[in-house]
Amino acid sequence: MIAAAPRLRRDLTVSRLETASGGFLIVKHPVSGRFYRFKEAERFIAEQLDGETPLDVIRERTEEEFGASLSPETLKAFVQNPTRSGCWIAASRRRNKIAAGARRFAATCLYLRFAFFDPDRLLARLVPRLRFFFTRRFLMVSALPILVAFAITFANAREIAGDLPRLYQASAILPFLALILVVASIHEVAHGLTCKHFGGEVHELGFMVMYFQPAFYCNVSDAWLFPEKSKRLWVGFAGPYLELVLWALATIAWRLTEPDTWINYTALIVMTLSGLRSFLDFNPFVKLDRLLPAERFVGTANLRRRSFKYVGDGIKRLLGFGRRLRVHISQRERRIYLVYGLVATVSSLSLLSFGLVRLGS
């Protein structure tokens, strides 16, 4: 055993969430911006970490509090767990620097991310001026053009398909890139404004490449600190919905203007771009936004990563070289991870295959 436990940071931001599988705490690190999840027993142990009390004393207190045995090895593994040690003073300094660097640049073969700047102050000034967009009146007003746009799309599907070749020209590259910048910025700012409207902080706005496709992102992880599920859902829903409104307005403009005008051409680009993005954004099995509405609906953070790990571990066990699960997972979580993991895997492989085929052609 370790002689004395590390000390819990006192500047952590803590919020309690209630889910179908029970309550837990969401903890935000003040420097790295990382989030941690603690169940009741873990919370109790963390609160005992004062830097002076030996771990064997903490173990005895925990056993008395919850009426269950706690082995020294389990307690030691919890305190030394690298995914939680950012909350302890003894192990946080060096990790904070590493985490800060990782937030600026993170990359894999299919995922590259680079943060541009901290938009928190800008969003704080914009929220009071844009309160209309957070009212029921805006939802009622915006629903009408969306319905009209769907009717136009179904009624003119062949004409739209025949108009798309206008975009396969060298002259379309610059306006297409410019409109991508505008539309994507509006989309991500909508996430950030909604998070800020509900009292969260937004300290990261940047650019990413995912599945060989360029995209912008806004880090609204503070939404996990909102106790109300409705607020967490609105933060994830704001960007796709506002882009759906842009698609609707562009579709109506395309229908009402002459084909040889610049307004018609711009509307065609926006309706094509926003239409494809809306299809992907409302697909809960594709990793586009850091906080998926699906995650907030089922009350599980990192749903995609956890599901992939669960399915991957299951495949390893079937093949005979995986270990039996040691961490308790409820039956509800098992069903969610299994279904989501399998469907998300098929969706991701399909998109990746499609992107490679298009790239090859």
Rounded CA separation 183/178 (Å): 9
- pLDDT tens for residues 70-91? 888 888 777 776 566 667 765 3
Is residue 159 scored above 80 in pLDDT?
Answer: yes
What's the pLDDT score for residue 65? 81
- The torsion angle over the Cα atoms of residues 292, 294, 299 and 300, rounded to 10 degrees, is -70
**Residue range 113-140: average pLDDT?**
90
| Residue extents of the structural domains in the chain | 13-103, 119-199+225-291, 303-360
Given a contact cutoff of 8 angstroms between Cβ atoms, the answer to whether 46 and 130 are in contact is no
- pLDDT tens for residues 18-64? 665 566 677 776 666 677 777 777 777 777 777 777 888 888 888 88
Given a contact cutoff of 8 angstroms between Cβ atoms, the answer to whether 303 and 289 are in contact is no
Is residue 266 scored above 50 in pLDDT?
Answer: yes
What's the pLDDT score for residue 97? 44
Is residue 188 scored above 70 in pLDDT?
Answer: yes
What's the pLDDT score for residue 1? 42
What's the pLDDT score for residue 143? 93
Rounded CA separation 232/291 (Å): 9
Given a contact cutoff of 8 angstroms between Cβ atoms, the answer to whether 216 and 185 are in contact is yes
pTM for this prediction: 0.63
Q: Which two tokens stand for residue 129?
A: 């001026």
Give the residue from 237, 183, 195 showing the smallest Cα distance to 219.
195
What's the pLDDT score for residue 100? 43
What's the pLDDT score for residue 284? 57
Q: How many helices (H) and strands (E) does the chain have?
A: 13, 7
What's the pLDDT score for residue 92? 40
Least confidently predicted of 4-13, 153-162, 288-297, 325-334: 288-297
Phi, psi (deg, nearest 5) at residue 31: -100, -55
What's the pLDDT score for residue 298? 53
Q: Residue 46: helix, strand or coil by DSSP?
A: helix
Confidence of residue 191 (pLDDT cuts 50, 70, 90): very high
More confident residue, 56 or 126: 126
Confidence of residue 153 (pLDDT cuts 50, 70, 90): very high
Least confidently predicted of 50-64, 192-206, 238-252, 289-303: 289-303
What's the pLDDT score for residue 96? 45
Q: Which residue has the tokens 């926003």?
A: 274
* DSSP run (H or E) holding 38: strand 35-38
Question: What percentage of the chain carries pLDDT values higher than 70?
Answer: 74
DSSP letters of 165-225? Answer: GGGSSGGGHHHHHHHHHHHHHHHHHHHHHHHHHTT-----EEEEEETTEEEEEE--GGGGG
What's the pLDDT score for residue 11? 65
Confidence of residue 144 (pLDDT cuts 50, 70, 90): very high
Is residue 2 scored above 90 in pLDDT?
Answer: no
What's the pLDDT score for residue 339? 79
**Residue range 225-254: average pLDDT?**
88
Give the residue from 157, 312, 301 showing the smallest Cα distance to 229.
301
Q: How much helix, strand and coil, in percent to the nearest 5, is found in the chain?
A: 65, 10, 25
Rounded CA separation 215/188 (Å): 10
Confidence of residue 122 (pLDDT cuts 50, 70, 90): very high
What's the pLDDT score for residue 130? 92
Confidence of residue 105 (pLDDT cuts 50, 70, 90): very low
More confident residue, 136 or 303: 136
